[in-house]
Amino acid sequence: MQKQEVIDNLKKLASQLKSKEYLTLKDVRSVPKLSHYAYSHFKTLGNALHAAGLPSSHLAASMNISDESLLSYLRDLRDKLGKDPIVWDIQHDEELYKKYSEKKISWSLYKSRFKGFQKAKELMDKKDIKRYYGAQATKVVEEVADENEDNLPKNRFWGEAAEIHVLAELLYRQFQAASIPVDVGLDILAVKNNKTFYFQVKHKDLTTNSAIKITRSSFEKTGSGNVFYIFVLLSEEKRDFLIIPYYIVKSWISSGHAREEDKSYLIYISKKDGKYKLVDMELDSYLDKWDDIR
């Protein structure tokens, strides 16, 4: 399927679903191979819809904006205001954003792209943002290269892998999912059926007796909305996912099943007789329950 065929198919689908404000990934997947070629030719669904002259969701539109454009928007806003922009300025801008985006730019996008709005403002005057990020990446690679790879603990890799696993599982289930900064106490944001969900991902190496640790301040800060904890239980052979709503974790803390220690809550999950347990409580009812996220 060539680029123009993708565009033609998107337009045809939009005309068939004219009652919908915009096409979703689920809609696009209803046409065989259309989503595959849309991503192959345009990289994102938002890009494909834009090429077809069709509207997209706020999230899809946001994913299209490059880091350089986000920083350029901040510079333009500063020049217009005569001062460094603050969140209020972005929220109340009704005109300048149109130079960079068909939909209003959210200040929270700077949190997910640059690890904070203040960090974005520090970067906006750098001449070559790609070179800056390249230097940071080179520094990290050099630091890791100094270590003996055979001696690196597997947890160094498994923590990152667990989050990637969860992102993949959500995408397979037609969530629009993306990573968000750890410093807000959550790892992943996902949207489905016009509802927003938040996830904190924790991994557990089943070959050890170590606890899953949840920082108390992080837990208390994220206790509203559709928040889920996903425990990725890892062994060399396989991985399992426990899908735990926030209120369930809170009940474990109240009942003492989650041990309180210093500034953290410790959750000791074990596998006995083929079943996952937390102290005397069986957990298999939460195993791979992705459909409970709704």
Find the range with the poorest average confidence among 130-134, 215-219, 283-287, 288-292: 130-134
Question: What was the pLDDT predicted at 290?
Answer: 92
Question: What was the pLDDT predicted at 49?
Answer: 81
Backbone angles phi, psi at 11, to 5 degrees: -65, -40
The pLDDT-based confidence of 294 (bands split at 50, 70, 90) is: confident
Mean pLDDT, the chain, rounded, equals: 79
Is-above-0.85 flag for pTM?
no
Question: What was the pLDDT predicted at 152?
Answer: 44
Q: 3-class DSSP state for residue 36?
A: helix
Residue 194 has pLDDT above 60, yes or no: yes
In the chain, the amino acid numbered 289 is K
The pLDDT-based confidence of 95 (bands split at 50, 70, 90) is: confident
Task: Tell me the mean pLDDT in the region 193-207.
Answer: 88
CA 214 to CA 263: how far, in whole Å?
9
CB 73, CB 100: distance < 8 Å: yes
User: pLDDT for 15-53, tens place per residue?
Assistant: 888 787 778 777 888 888 888 888 778 767 777 887 888
Look at residues 277, 282, 276, 228 and name the one whose alpha carbon lies nearest to residue 250: 228
Please say whether the structural domain 153-292 has been given the CATH code 3.90.550.10. no
User: pLDDT for 214-227, tens place per residue?
Assistant: 888 888 877 666 89
The pLDDT-based confidence of 136 (bands split at 50, 70, 90) is: very low
Residue 241 has pLDDT above 90, yes or no: yes
CA 263 to CA 250: how far, in whole Å?
15
Residue with the two structure tokens 């927003």: 196
Task: Tell me the mean pLDDT in the region 241-267.
Answer: 90
End-to-end CA distance of the chain: 34
CA 179 to CA 198: how far, in whole Å?
10
Percent above pLDDT 70 for the chain: 80
